[in-house]
Amino acid sequence: MNRNPENRIKRLFIPNENYQKNEKNFNTDIYFFSAFREFREKTIPSSELNGMYNIVKERLFQNTMEIINNKHYLSDIINFIDGHEILRSFTYIDALYNKIEDLYNIGIDTNIFEARRYIDENSDLKYIRAIQDLYDSYMSEMYDGYTAEKYFKIYQNNKNSRFFNKEKYLNAKKDMYDKAEKILRGKTPDEILQFFNENPIYAKIYELYEIKKKAFADRNRAASPESNEVPPPQPPPESNRAPPPESNRAPPPQPPPAAAAPIENCPAAEIEVPSDNSVCKNKKEYRKLLLAFHPDKNPGCKELADEKFKALGNLCDEVQNKGGSKNKSKAKKRKSKSVKKRQSRKSNK
């Protein structure tokens, strides 16, 4: 009878080519994973067993995350990991378990604002399907059936949300303005300021803030000399001003003309053709410019490159022609000398 514990662990291993995703094989991987960790604490495993462990470890992690992502409720995820405690030896799964447990303890059905804030602070949780569905339901519930005041206040802090609806936001702002205008009509400065103290959200709208500012100044003017007036509060940010009516709205300022965008794949556009032919005397620089202006090197502006290529060639033609005539005269002299030498040799013979 074979009592070698390493061989017993090896018999639990399922190669990838024979592996099929089902509950039985998943439990077998868990048993192999747990038995190997216990064996490793007592003795050093062989390299072959270590290789098997690495395969099972990677496979077990992927299958665990797939099972978690297919769960529809947080309680199901917690119960699944509790039933396979060895899975918490994975650092990521352990951290994920702790975050889900914290989120569940917050009160996912009662404290939806706190739960949504917790998910926003731990964005990696949104990769879990159950949590993403939960977050989407929070966002959709948050903006339905609210009064204009509450809707306006929520959107002040959620303008970057993908659920943000600017049209609803502006409608809520208009409803608040109409409501406040009816309430404040004919009121004294003290009554106006009392209204804003009880409903500070209304002062976030610029037009209503102007009413508050005027009431503040009127009250101070009546209560004390002008020299002792208390300065009015600072206005809200420009972004919170209600848009003026279409008929009175000034045309938007025209943006300055945009600079010409650089041409892609066109290095010739950044280099100018020299004004003099001094570059033609330097072969290295001349060849460098020819290469820069070559159409094949400028696929984005072949016509421009071809023009500059020809212009550089025409500029250097004169210098090259002079050099060519000198070379031809030297070649003729050498040829005449060689002819004379051959004739003298024949005569000597």
What is the domain-level CATH number for residue 307?
1.10.287
Q: Do both 300 and 330 map to the same domain?
A: yes
Alpha carbon separation from 222 to 186, 189, 208, 213 (Å, rounded): 17, 10, 21, 14
Q: Do both 283 and 305 map to the same domain?
A: yes
CB of 119 within 8 A of CB of 96?
Answer: no
How many other C-beta atoms are found inside a 10 Å radius of the C-beta of residue 130? 19
Task: Indicate whether 89 belongs to any domain.
Answer: yes
Q: Do both 79 and 55 map to the same domain?
A: no
Task: Indicate whether 181 belongs to any domain.
Answer: yes
SS3 235: coil
Residue spans of the chain under pLDDT 70:
1-3, 108-113, 137-147, 150-151, 154-165, 224-264, 318-335, 337, 339, 346, 348-349
Q: What pLDDT, on a 0 to 100 scale, did the predictor assign at position 55? A: 92
Tell me, what DSSP letter sits at residue 82?
H
Q: Do both 83 and 95 map to the same domain?
A: yes
Q: What pLDDT, on a 0 to 100 scale, did the predictor assign at position 327? A: 56
Distance CA 332, CA 330 (A): 5
Which of 14, 35, 70 marks a domain boundary? 70
Task: Indicate whether 115 belongs to any domain.
Answer: yes
Q: Do both 65 and 3 map to the same domain?
A: yes
Q: What pLDDT, on a 0 to 100 scale, did the predictor assign at position 1? A: 44
Task: Indicate whether 34 belongs to any domain.
Answer: yes
Residue labelled with tokens 């509450």: 150
Task: Indicate whether 50 belongs to any domain.
Answer: yes
Which of 70, 102, 127 marks a domain boundary? 70
Q: Which two tokens stand for residue 110?
A: 């009662």
Say how many domains are in the chain. Answer: 4
Q: Do both 12 and 24 map to the same domain?
A: yes
Task: Indicate whether 159 belongs to any domain.
Answer: no
Q: Do both 58 and 78 map to the same domain?
A: no
Q: Do both 80 and 23 map to the same domain?
A: no
Range of the domain at 176: 168-225+233-242
Q: What pLDDT, on a 0 to 100 scale, did the predictor assign at position 225? A: 58
| Backbone region of residue 107 per phi and psi (left: phi > 0; alpha: psi in -120 to 50; beta: other values) | left
Q: What pLDDT, on a 0 to 100 scale, did the predictor assign at position 173? A: 81
Task: Indicate whether 261 belongs to any domain.
Answer: no
Distance CA 96, CA 108 (A): 16
Q: Do both 79 and 20 map to the same domain?
A: no
Q: Do both 65 and 95 map to the same domain?
A: no
Task: Indicate whether 148 belongs to any domain.
Answer: no
Rg (CA), the chain: 42
φ and ψ of 333, to 5 deg: -60, -45
Q: Do both 125 and 174 map to the same domain?
A: no
Q: What pLDDT, on a 0 to 100 scale, did the predictor assign at position 249? A: 55
Q: Do both 76 and 64 map to the same domain?
A: no
Distance CA 125, CA 132 (A): 8
